[in-house]
């Protein structure tokens, strides 16, 4: 699953660690999400969406039917 996490995180001036702390996950999880190596749970996707200031998950996560 592709994401806009890196771009949105950088636009907000957040480090991977700061986003991870806010979402209550590890920095490695954020790194894996940014590099499309991990598909988040719905709850984690929702948390990250809200932390990044977006209203819908689709603004952050791009669903790919192959995932």
Helix (H, G, I), strand (E, B) or coil at 66: coil
pLDDT at 46 over 80: yes
With respect to residue 67, please indicate whether it lies within any of the assigned structural domains: no
- Can you name the residues that pair with 3 across neighbouring β-strands? 61
The tens digit of pLDDT for each residue in 29-40 reads 999 999 999 999
Q: Which domain holds residue 27?
A: 2-61
28: domain CATH number?
1.10.260.40
Could you give the number of structural domains in the chain? 1
**Does the residue 12 lie in any domain?**
yes
Report whether pLDDT(5) > 60: yes
For residues 13-40, average pLDDT:
97
Percent of the chain with pLDDT over 70: 96
* pLDDT at position 66: 64
Query: Once rounded to an integer, what is the mean pLDDT over residues 45-57?
Result: 98
């Amino acid at each position: 699953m592709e994401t806009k996490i890196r771009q949105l995180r950088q636009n907000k001036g957040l480090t991977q660690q700061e986003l991870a702390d806010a979402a209550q996950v590890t920095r490695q999880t954020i790194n894996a999400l940014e590099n499309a190596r991990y598909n988040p749970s719905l709850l984690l996707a929702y948390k990250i969406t809200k932390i990044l200031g977006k209203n819908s998950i689709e603004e952050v996560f791009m669903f790919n039917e192959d995932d």
